[in-house]
Structure 1
Amino acid sequence: MKSSSSDSEEEHEVLDYVRQPSPEVVIPTSRSVKLPYTSSRSGLVYDVRMRFHAEIVSEYADATDVHPEDPRRILEIYEELLHAGLIEEDPAEPGTAHEYTLKRLQAREATGAEICLVHSKRHFKWVRDLESMTRDELVDLGNQMDSLYLHGSTFFCARLSAGGAIEACRAVVTGHVKNSIAVIRPPGHHAEPKKPGGFCLFNNVSIAARVCQADYPDLCRKVLILDWDVHHGNGVQEAFYDDPNVLYISLHVHKDGTFYPTGPTGNHTYCGGPSAIGKNVNIPWSRHGMGDGDYMLAFQTIIMPVAMEFDPDLVIISAGFDAAEGDTLGGCHVSPACYAHMTHMLMSLAHGKVAVCLEGGYNLRSIAKSALAVTRTLMGEPPDRLENLIATDSGAEVIDLVIKQQSRFWKCLYPKTESRAVVKGNPIHDILREWQSMLLGSEYNMSELFILREEISPSFSKQVLATENYAHSGPLLVIVHDPPQANGQAHHRTGLLDLHNTHLADETKTYIDWACTHGFAVIDVNIPKQITGLEDPSVSEESAEKHTQLSRDLLQYIWENYIEINDSQQIFMMGVGAAGAHVLHLLSSNEEIMDRVAHVINFVADNALLAVRRQTDDASAWYWRNSHVFVANSHLAWDPERKKRKKYGNIIKSPYDGINDMLYAHRHDVTTFLDQSTQEWQKGQTEQQRRKRKELNSNLLNASTHLQEITSTSDERSGLRSPGGPPIGMFGVSAGPFGGVRQQGLGGGREIK
């Protein structure tokens, strides 16, 4: 479908934005002078023509293979609102509007000048040129793009979507409505200033924010854009990265940069440009499965304190609903009630001036129910109760990282973190490992295995310890574990720990105790979360990757230089926590290792459940037969919809979630298994000890007989002894009764004065 502008007008369209000198703002009179906000209506932007942008499919295509960005998305939401009685029947006829319905706001095509407030002119013209392409050209070009399909109506619909966002925000800023929701598509938050991406052509919320700032500088100077789409809004971040008047906050699945949009820019370390440091806040979930508790914790500890300190004039929500329960693309579990609570909290900002603009969300029922909950909250209904407010361990860890990073830019965030350039000291994990090496050395004579490789050696000093018999033929237990956990209460403001209230939990040592007392050889490998000499991996993506690679190299080095060449007949590998991933990588990278390893024991708490992967043989079946994988009680592995595959090993559900609780609870199971698995070796040891005792007894008997023979001849005279000397035989020297020295022989003695 062609844009409403003629071809000649398009060619000469002004792409430089010019603000009207005095834009007229007519604020409608509210129905109640005493309650002006409450008595005002909420606005709705919806235009059926946005559905014209659709994927071009051939007549032979599979009808069930529907693109996630389905035109029915906006229709499903609109019909949900309509069936709930929130939309006036016929906005064209006066007198049909109801008091408790949404006020219809007309969508329009955004002008080229408005779009170019964010996007380059070249990008705008590229999208405009799509109208003149054939179907085949559009399909071919779309196949070359980043998660994007193209249609003859794409340019028109993209302008209509951007214009709808502008009108939704403009109506809120000018007071025509108290707040608004724009049910628009195609979405926009992945569209960067110079290129499209991720189903997005024009960056709707960014354009709307820029237009409102330009047209109403006195009413809309500072804008908060809150993005709860499950994907990072890389386009919004780039548009405002160095703008101190726009605060962009995004909650999204990041997975160390492996989830779309891939790369490091969605990490918590990206905090804004030199002029806007702290004005970009990323809350990057490390995995899927985030729920209401995680989002509520993020809102209560980061988002609302920062937003209140920023004090915006307008709040725009990039409302993607792909983190909703039921959306398989996002893989999270946010409920409609949680979306309502987040909206309710944001309505406390900017005098309630909130505009909600649809982004992603690809389960039709999930987005409809979630959008309805948000709309009812905008209109004044209190949110429903939340069922689960417990944050996951991984979610809480990410939130702590964000606070640590952002606390230096925001007064409201505690504890404050001092710069490492100012405060220098020894990491506690290095001090603890030094103490552990001394303790294990004194108790079991364990000593350090030296890593003679230039890059690895200084990084893992004191991290690899072994008993003296590690190269013998007996069973060998190799424990690869995270550092012990320290439990303490940090000062709420400074973050400092009181050492007398800090306790060390090291349940791994109990396994070393058992193994050493039962004759096992032990190699203990501690994988620190931060390797000395590297930048903190919680702050640097590159350091995190380097940490992983160094840890893998370390384990490979230990195997090649200390384990593979020894005489151990039974090798047991034990992984504890995140360090267990390196054990699985070792097994996956070398086909011959499985011939030596008898069994693998793994403890998985808040880290990912990983598999042994190898294409050349049946490694998955071997791992399933020869493993015990204890998985935390609340781990995503126990999701009823998740299939239990052999490649993850013989997984066992633990009644506990904490790694130390799991180690304690399953110690008897593990040690019993190890004991039973080494029965043949124990029998051999018993037989060997019996033979040694027999040989020792025989030697003692021979020595006793020889001694008796010597004793029997001690009183006989011998021509070899000196005259007056003691008898031949054994003798001792002792003090006489009067201070003299007495020679004591076997037959008596005499005192020497």
Structure 2
Amino acid sequence: MDVDTPGPGPSSSKHLPRSTSVPFQPPGDLTVGYVYSSEMTSHFNPAGHQEAPERITRIWQAIVNAKLNLKMQWLPIRPVTKAEALLVHSQTTWDLIETFQYMTEQQVVDSEAYYEQLSLYVMPGTTRAARLSCGGVIEACLAVARGRLRKVFAICRPPGHHAEPDQSMGFCFFNNVAVAARVVQQMTPIKRILILDWSPYVGNGTQRAFNDDPSVLYISLHRYDGGSFYPCGEFGGMASCGEGSGLGFSVNIPWPEKGMGDPDYIHAFQRVVMPIAMEFAPELVIISAGFDAALGDELGECKVSPAGYAHMTHMLSGLAGGRLVVALEGGYNLDATMHSALAVTKVILGEAPEQLPPMHASEVATETVYLVAKEQSKYWKSIDTKSCEPREDVEPLTFSIPEILQAHRAHYLHTNYRMMQVPLLGGLLQDSFTGNVLCTQDLFENKTLVVLAHEFGNLRMELESAMTCDLSLERSYLIDFTKELMRWITGEGYALIDVNLYPKPFSSTSTNRKNAGRYDEAAALLLYLWDNFIQLSGAQRIVFIGHGPGCQPLMDLIDARFNSVTKSVKGIVQVVGYSKVPVTPKKSDELRTWYAKNSCVLLPANHHMFRPDAIQNNKKHGILCPIEELQPVRIVMQGLPAIQEFMKDQLAKH
């Protein structure tokens, strides 16, 4: 039986009356839970609508198909009580939502135009679904706040973050997260709560609910478009920071246009979200998880990937002692929402987020984050405005990390081996790779030549704080895995061409390039070097060594110039990490046979290529050399004797 009397305000010590939620005791080995009920599909529009029941059923089915539900504790759902709802909403709002269940078909039709202007549709099933959605989020938050579970995913609809205290709107009826936060403050010792809203629409209802309350920190990343993006107006702009005692406890990161993606959101997290969140030190984190910023959502028109959502969740999981609730809000591309929600679920279950590619925040995003940082630095000591300053503003004074590493490598190779730069002609190669290719001075005299293709060494960056990604420069360093290899090559008297295939990240041709584009540029560079230098060098015995990303472009070169390559190349070495599969030539059976006789592949001993089911693929390569080393960056160091033995054997044959 629901209790329908209003509860006390958040500052009162009197306890809120309890509902009839079912008590439970989760098994000791389950620390993550979920809230889901098909009853929330009772709210639907027969004519079709973006906010459809399939939004939650698709997520649930994906979790079941991945068998993740077996690792999670089910939480019974129940409807929000009137007393709980009135902690945030007005009596009028409660009464109106209650009347929906009694509407006749004609009343639904007659009221359609009115509710459309509020971006709502209503029907008799709306009341039950809206109350269950709000009650489900409450139960999720209470389970975490009381220590029964560490993390919970509330797969609930309709959403809630647009619902204001006095007005349902924007597909939302009750403000699920806001009501849940108030109930937690009333019913548990937890008082300090962070609500992070990553929907592309500002959660106007949530911010209004706590606009003057310093106990709840509301942070939102959303499209603003100068105030013209839903729900429109100045509320949600970067200067909208709360009022009264809540001034500074509303943080809005308003993107000025569509198309914002992973680099932009991660940049905002590192520079603004996490520093403020850590300074606030919440006791509970609630994510208003609207997946309508996902790539493919036609309403949000942003480009956040499932991996992007996973990384944001991972960062937030480190706050509040790991106490985290993910509450579904929007998300209207069913596939994108499903994949994004699944990625988030895996993270709260303890899986590492999928690796993101190298990326740079857009100019628009860095400018926005800089302006937000300036605004929020009035209220938060942890905000470093200078570190947020867009690079474009100080471009003449800056060097990128790859540029610094490139200069270091050129200096090191010249000082120790008297190596010199190989000139590159042509716009694309010159812009991207000038200074990346160096050779020993005996290039055109030595009969034996080694071509080493790689990307620059591994940076080991020690962090002052894992939450903000601030670097500790004194404890960071560069690992150059080629040092011992180059020392041996030059000590044997072989000529050497060192090819760094990492293009300049800020050249006009390389900005925002995809990995496939980088491989194409690298292959073009090696073709250029073969046609203009290697073939003309007079070397009769050539050995190719590819490390990591350098393997594929070398094999592309062999395919493209197989007639000349097979005459002078006597050995190919591929040094491969865990995630890479060694590649083989594709042109002809004759070329593949030649490769199998002249190749050596170094792999971690536990690489999947050594599994019994990979034996057939193993036959495509010459020597497969397992290295007992868990760190891919150390495979060259541990495998150096094998490389030396292979090269000496191959060169001795010719």
Q: Is 1:269 equivalent to 2:224 in the alignment? A: no
How far apart are residue 139 of structure 1 and its match?
Answer: 3.1
Q: Is 1:215 equivalent to 2:187 in the alignment? A: yes
How far apart are residue 155 of structure 1 and its match?
Answer: 1.1
Q: Is 1:318 equivalent to 2:288 in the alignment? A: yes
User: Which has the larger displacement, 70-79 or 40-49?
Assistant: 40-49
Which residue number corresponds to residue 386 of structure 1?
A: 356
The whole-number CA distance in structure 2 between the counterparts of 1:416 and 1:390 is 18
Which residue number corresponds to residue 199 of structure 1?
A: 171
The structure 2 residue matched to 1:42, chosen from 19, 26, 32, is 32
The structure 2 residue matched to 1:20, chosen from 15, 21, 40, is 15
Which residue number corresponds to residue 301 of structure 2?
A: 331
Say which SS state the counterpart of residue 315 (structure 1) adopts: strand
The AA in structure 1 aligned to 2:42 is F
Q: Give the 3 Å change call, closer, same or farther, for CA 185–632 of structure 1 in structure 2.
A: farther
Which residue number corresponds to residue 581 of structure 2?
A: none
How far apart are residue 16 of structure 1 and its match?
Answer: 3.3
The structure 2 residue matched to 1:366, chosen from 307, 313, 336, is 336
Say which SS state the counterpart of residue 44 (structure 1) adopts: strand
| Contact 2:7–2:16 (8 Å) recurs in 1 | no
Which residue number corresponds to residue 349 of structure 1?
A: 319
Say which SS state the counterpart of residue 153 (structure 1) adopts: helix
The structure 2 residue matched to 1:185, chosen from 138, 151, 157, is 157
User: Which has the larger displacement, 173-182 or 18-27?
Assistant: 18-27
How far apart are residue 137 of structure 1 and its match?
Answer: 1.5
The whole-number CA distance in structure 1 between the counterparts of 2:261 and 2:26 is 41
How far apart are residue 87 of structure 1 and its match?
Answer: 1.5
The whole-number CA distance in structure 1 between the counterparts of 2:344 and 2:150 is 14
Q: Is 1:165 equivalent to 2:137 in the alignment? A: yes
Q: Give the 3 Å change call, closer, same or farther, for CA 138–388 of structure 1 in structure 2.
A: farther
Which residue number corresponds to residue 208 of structure 2?
A: 238
How far apart are residue 21 of structure 1 and its match?
Answer: 8.3
Q: Is 1:112 equivalent to 2:82 in the alignment? A: yes
The whole-number CA distance in structure 2 between the counterparts of 1:489 and 1:156 is 61
Which residue number corresponds to residue 260 of structure 2?
A: 290
The whole-number CA distance in structure 1 between the counterparts of 2:236 and 2:280 is 21
The AA in structure 1 aligned to 2:374 is K
Which residue number corresponds to residue 55 of structure 2?
A: 73
How far apart are residue 28 of structure 1 and its match?
Answer: 5.8
Say which SS state the counterpart of residue 130 (structure 2) adopts: helix
The whole-number CA distance in structure 1 between the counterparts of 2:112 and 2:17 is 42
How far apart are residue 277 of structure 1 and its match?
Answer: 1.3
Q: Is 1:248 equivalent to 2:218 in the alignment? A: yes
Which residue number corresponds to residue 347 of structure 2?
A: 377
How far apart are residue 15 of structure 1 and its match?
Answer: 2.9
Q: Give the 3 Å change call, closer, same or farther, for CA 242–21 of structure 1 in structure 2.
A: closer
Give CA-to-partner distance per residue, 1:401-436, whole Å, 9 cap, x none.
10010001000012389xxxxxxxxxxxxxxxxxxx
The whole-number CA distance in structure 2 between the counterparts of 1:255 and 1:330 is 12
User: Which has the larger displacement, 77-86 or 139-148?
Assistant: 139-148
| Mapping 1:211-610, distance limit 5 Å | 211-216=183-188, 218=189, 220-415=190-385
| Contact 2:286–2:324 (8 Å) recurs in 1 | yes
| Contact 2:360–2:512 (8 Å) recurs in 1 | no
Q: Is 1:142 equivalent to 2:132 in the alignment? A: no
How far apart are residue 27 of structure 1 and its match?
Answer: 10
Give CA-to-partner distance per residue, 1:376-416, whole Å, 9 cap, x none.
10011111101252111101111001001000100001238
Greater C-alpha radius of gyration: 1
The whole-number CA distance in structure 2 between the counterparts of 1:288 and 1:634 is 19
Say which SS state the counterpart of residue 292 (structure 2) adopts: coil
The whole-number CA distance in structure 1 between the counterparts of 2:46 and 2:4 is 29
The AA in structure 1 aligned to 2:171 is F
Which residue number corresponds to residue 567 of structure 1?
A: none
The structure 2 residue matched to 1:51, chosen from 41, 66, 76, is 41
Say which SS state the counterpart of residue 355 (structure 1) adopts: strand
The AA in structure 1 aligned to 2:15 is Q
| Contact 1:45–1:182 (8 Å) recurs in 2 | yes
How far apart are residue 141 of structure 1 and its match?
Answer: 2.0
How high is the TM-score relative to the length of structure 2? 0.57
How far apart are residue 132 of structure 1 and its match?
Answer: 1.9
The whole-number CA distance in structure 1 between the counterparts of 2:16 and 2:69 is 36
Which residue number corresponds to residue 86 of structure 1?
A: 68
How far apart are residue 127 of structure 1 and its match?
Answer: 1.1
The answer for unaligned runs of 5 or more in structure 2 is 399-507, 514-654
The whole-number CA distance in structure 1 between the counterparts of 2:314 and 2:375 is 27
The AA in structure 2 aligned to 1:126 is L
| Contact 1:139–1:150 (8 Å) recurs in 2 | no
The whole-number CA distance in structure 2 between the counterparts of 1:26 and 1:241 is 33
How far apart are residue 56 of structure 1 and its match?
Answer: 4.0
Q: Percent identity over the alignment?
A: 45
The AA in structure 2 aligned to 1:48 is S
How far apart are residue 259 of structure 1 and its match?
Answer: 0.8
The AA in structure 1 aligned to 2:252 is N
The AA in structure 2 aligned to 1:20 is H
The whole-number CA distance in structure 1 between the counterparts of 2:270 and 2:240 is 21
Which residue number corresponds to residue 626 of structure 1?
A: none
Give CA-to-partner distance per residue, 1:169-211, whole Å, 9 cap, x none.
0111111111000000000000000001100000000000000
How far apart are residue 278 of structure 1 and its match?
Answer: 0.9
Give CA-to-partner distance per residue, 1:237-275, whole Å, 9 cap, x none.
100000000000000011001111111101000011120
The AA in structure 1 aligned to 2:342 is L
Which residue number corresponds to residue 441 of structure 2?
A: none
Which residue number corresponds to residue 708 of structure 1?
A: none
The whole-number CA distance in structure 2 between the counterparts of 1:48 and 1:188 is 18
Which residue number corresponds to residue 103 of structure 2?
A: 133
Cα root mean square deviation, aligned: 2.8
The whole-number CA distance in structure 2 between the counterparts of 1:283 and 1:186 is 25
Say which SS state the counterpart of residue 266 (structure 1) adopts: coil
Give CA-to-partner distance per residue, 1:659-704, whole Å, 9 cap, x none.
xxxxxxxxxxxxxxxxxxxxxxxxxxxxxxxxxxxxxxxxxxxxxx
Q: Give the 3 Å change call, closer, same or farther, for CA 143–87 of structure 1 in structure 2.
A: same
| Contact 1:192–1:236 (8 Å) recurs in 2 | yes
| Structure having greater relative contact order (Cα 8 Å, sep ≥ 6) | 2
Q: Give the 3 Å change call, closer, same or farther, for CA 22–253 of structure 1 in structure 2.
A: closer
| Contact 1:56–1:135 (8 Å) recurs in 2 | no
How far apart are residue 41 of structure 1 and its match?
Answer: 2.1
How far apart are residue 13 of structure 1 and its match?
Answer: 2.8
Q: Give the 3 Å change call, closer, same or farther, for CA 17–72 of structure 1 in structure 2.
A: farther
Which residue number corresponds to residue 700 of structure 1?
A: none
Give CA-to-partner distance per residue, 1:285-318, whole Å, 9 cap, x none.
0101011000100010000110000000100000
How far apart are residue 40 of structure 1 and its match?
Answer: 4.0
How high is the TM-score relative to the length of structure 1? 0.50
How far apart are residue 635 of structure 1 and its match?
Answer: 10
Say which SS state the counterpart of residue 247 (structure 1) adopts: strand
How far apart are residue 156 of structure 1 and its match?
Answer: 1.2
Give CA-to-partner distance per residue, 1:644-672, whole Å, 9 cap, x none.
xxxxxxxxxxxxxxxxxxxxxxxxxxxxx
The AA in structure 2 aligned to 1:188 is G
How far apart are residue 487 of structure 1 and its match?
Answer: 5.1
The whole-number CA distance in structure 1 between the counterparts of 2:23 and 2:136 is 20
| Contact 1:15–1:121 (8 Å) recurs in 2 | no
The whole-number CA distance in structure 1 between the counterparts of 2:394 and 2:59 is 49
| Contact 1:17–1:114 (8 Å) recurs in 2 | no
The AA in structure 2 aligned to 1:76 is R
The whole-number CA distance in structure 1 between the counterparts of 2:334 and 2:358 is 24
The whole-number CA distance in structure 1 between the counterparts of 2:181 and 2:351 is 27
